[in-house]
C-alpha cells in the first residue's frame, strides 16, 4: 500500500512538473496565452493605479461618513469642540450629553434629477455619522453652547 501511495505522489508531482513546463513553453509560443498574460498585467496595473489615486487620496475620504475632522481643546474656562461638517443642514445635526459623554450625529440626503427630451438622470447622495466624546468630570454640559457656521460646528462647554 505504501508503494502505491508513493508512486501516486511521484506521478502527481511529475504531472505538475510537466504541466509547469508546458505552461512555460506555451507562454513563449502561444500569442493567445501571451495576450491573456498581458491583459492580466494591464488589469492589475489599472486596479493598482485606481487604488493609489482614489483610496490613498485624502479627497476620497473627505466625506463625513468616515470621520469628520474635529478638534477638542481646553480653552481655559471652557472646553471647545470644533468639527468640520460641510454640506450638512443645521436642522439635521443632533447633539446630546449623558453621563459625561457628548454625542454628535448628523444626516444628509440630496437627490438631483435632470430631465430632457430623451434622457432622465437621477443621483442620490446620503451620508451620516455618529461620534461620541468622553468629557472631563468638570464639564458643565447643562450650560453648553453650540454654533454652526460655514460647515463648522462649534460646541463650547464651560468648566465647573
The predicted model scores a pTM of 0.55
**Matching residue, cell 468622553:** 134
Q: Are 141 and 101 in contact (CB under 8 A)?
A: no
Q: How far from the centroid of its chain's Cα atoms is residue 80's Cα?
A: 27
Q: What is the pLDDT along the chain (160 residues), one digit of tens a residue?
A: 444 444 444 444 444 444 444 444 555 567 877 887 888 888 888 877 776 666 655 545 444 445 788 999 999 999 999 999 988 899 999 999 998 899 999 998 888 899 988 898 888 888 888 889 999 999 999 999 999 999 999 999 999 9
- What would the DSSP string read from start to end of 66-83? T---EEEEE-SSEEEEEE
Total residues belonging to the chain? 160
**Matching residue, cell 504541466:** 19
Amino acid at each position: 500500500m505504501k508503494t502505491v501511495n508513493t508512486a501516486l505522489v511521484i506521478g502527481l508531482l511529475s504531472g505538475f512538473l510537466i504541466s509547469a513546463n508546458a505552461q512555460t513553453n506555451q507562454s513563449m509560443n502561444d500569442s493567445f496565452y501571451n495576450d491573456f498574460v498581458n491583459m492580466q498585467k494591464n488589469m492589475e496595473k489599472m486596479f493598482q493605479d485606481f487604488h493609489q489615486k482614489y483610496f490613498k487620496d485624502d479627497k476620497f475620504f473627505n466625506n463625513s461618513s468616515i470621520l469628520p475632522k474635529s478638534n477638542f481643546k481646553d480653552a481655559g474656562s471652557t472646553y471647545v469642540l470644533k468639527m468640520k461638517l460641510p454640506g450638512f443642514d443645521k436642522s439635521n445635526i443632533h447633539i446630546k450629553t449623558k453621563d459625561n459623554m457628548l454625542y454628535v450625529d448628523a444626516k444628509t440626503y440630496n437627490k438631483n434629477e435632470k430631465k430632457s427630451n430623451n434622457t432622465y438622470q437621477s443621483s442620490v447622495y446620503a451620508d451620516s455619522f455618529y461620534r461620541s466624546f468622553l468629557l472631563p468630570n468638570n464639564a458643565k454640559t447643562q450650560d453648553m453652547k453650540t454654533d454652526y457656521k460655514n460647515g463648522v460646528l462649534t460646541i463650547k462647554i464651560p468648566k465647573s
